């Protein structure tokens, strides 16, 4: 395993990377407080990947098999996924958001900050002090660099996590969404919810090509479940049906108090529920 890397980006943000974990950290506050917070993040970071790797077998278990873990990030993953357990979900659905939450918590414990975020590949833990605000750009797909929306977060919004999932992301998806962006009280919950809502954006169509997850990755936590490989042209009725299915799940999560809002995108169409997301 390659050692973790810490470097300063051209715009001054801190970049921490270790294997699949890739964090970009933004901080605002007094100079000495920013320095203390960044030191805390750098001290904590090297132990995260080895700790998760040691418990990977448990983290790949479905929640109905009661995964047992001890690492702090692994525990966050299990806690975040537990409320969704009637659906098939493994703690891996919340890995990126849990890492982001864990690092941000360490930073805030080290020093008071005005604003801060930890972006783990698009799954973002964020903090905004009273009287402050933070603008977050929204992408049309998880891999897109082009922003097609924006979100202004304040302390009163209750938003502590933003996550995006879909078939273009880093992980396999059971659905066909281009992107599902979720707002929640923390990044781990947003991450798990985005995964599950994206799975629900689906329709039975000849335009969708699927394959068993293990045929693409023998170590996938999804096993023999069919994951989306490609989506051809869909007609308007198919797009609407898929988005409506995803929206129903998002609204159920919001009614249960699990998320604050969600934006679902597919083939140029969108559905939005809850907290303001500007398409």
pLDDT over threshold 60, residue 198: yes
Residue with tokens 């698009």: 122
Segment 251-264, tens digit of pLDDT: 999 999 999 999 99
pLDDT over threshold 70, residue 223: yes
For the domain bounded by 5-274, which CATH number is listed? 3.10.520.10
> For the purposes of burial, counting CB atoms within 10 Å of the CB of 22, is it exposed (0-12), middle (13-18) or buried (19 or more)?
middle
Number of H helices, E strands in the chain: 8, 13
Q: Provide the whole-model pTM.
A: 0.92
Q: Encoding tokens for residue 66?
A: 């009661």
Distances (CA, A) of 209 to 110, 167, 175, 223: 48, 12, 11, 17
Q: Give me the pLDDT at residue 1, please.
A: 65
Integer Cα distance of 153 and 144 in angstroms: 21
Q: Give me the pLDDT at residue 146, please.
A: 41
Q: Give me the pLDDT at residue 136, please.
A: 80
Q: Give me the pLDDT at residue 85, please.
A: 85
| 182 Cα distance to chain centroid | 8
Q: What average pLDDT does this structure show over 162-167?
A: 92
pLDDT over threshold 60, residue 277: no
Nearest to 211 by CA among 196, 194, 230, 195: 230
Segment 88-115, tens digit of pLDDT: 999 999 999 999 999 999 999 999 999 9
Distances (CA, A) of 43 to 16, 21, 77, 80, 95: 11, 15, 21, 24, 20
- Out of 145-154, 160-169, 189-198, 222-231, pick the least confident: 145-154
Q: Give SS3 for 262.
A: strand
CB hemisphere CA count around 224 (13 angstroms): 0
């Amino acid at each position: 395993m390659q050692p973790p890397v810490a470097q300063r980006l051209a715009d001054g943000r801190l970049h921490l990377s270790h294997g699949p974990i890739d964090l970009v950290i933004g901080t605002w506050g007094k100079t000495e407080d920013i320095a203390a917070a960044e030191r805390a993040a750098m001290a904590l970071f090297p132990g995260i990947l080895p700790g998760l790797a040691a418990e990977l077998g448990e983290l790949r278990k479905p929640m109905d098999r009661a995964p047992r873990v001890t690492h702090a990030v692994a525990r966050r993953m299990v806690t975040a996924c537990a409320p969704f357990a009637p659906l098939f979900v493994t703690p891996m659905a919340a890995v990126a958001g849990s890492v982001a939450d864990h690092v941000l918590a360490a930073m805030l414990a080290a020093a008071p900050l005005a604003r801060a975020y930890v972006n783990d590949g698009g799954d973002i833990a964020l903090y905004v002090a009273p009287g402050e605000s933070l603008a977050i750009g929204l992408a049309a797909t998880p891999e897109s660099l082009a922003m097609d929306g924006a979100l202004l977060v304040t302390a009163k919004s209750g938003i502590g996590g933003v996550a995006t999932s879909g078939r273009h992301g880093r992980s396999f998806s059971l659905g066909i969404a281009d992107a599902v962006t979720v707002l929640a009280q923390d990044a781990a919950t947003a991450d798990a919810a985005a995964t599950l809502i994206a799975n629900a954006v689906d329709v039975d169509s000849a335009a969708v090509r699927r394959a068993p997850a293990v045929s693409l990755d023998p170590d996938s936590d999804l096993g023999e479940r069919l994951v989306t490989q490609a989506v051809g042209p869909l007609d308007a009725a198919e797009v609407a049906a898929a988005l409506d299915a995803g929206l129903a799940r998002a609204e159920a999560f919001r009614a249960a108090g699990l998320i604050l809002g969600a934006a679902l995108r597919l083939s140029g169409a969108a559905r939005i529920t809850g907290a303001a997301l500007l398409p």
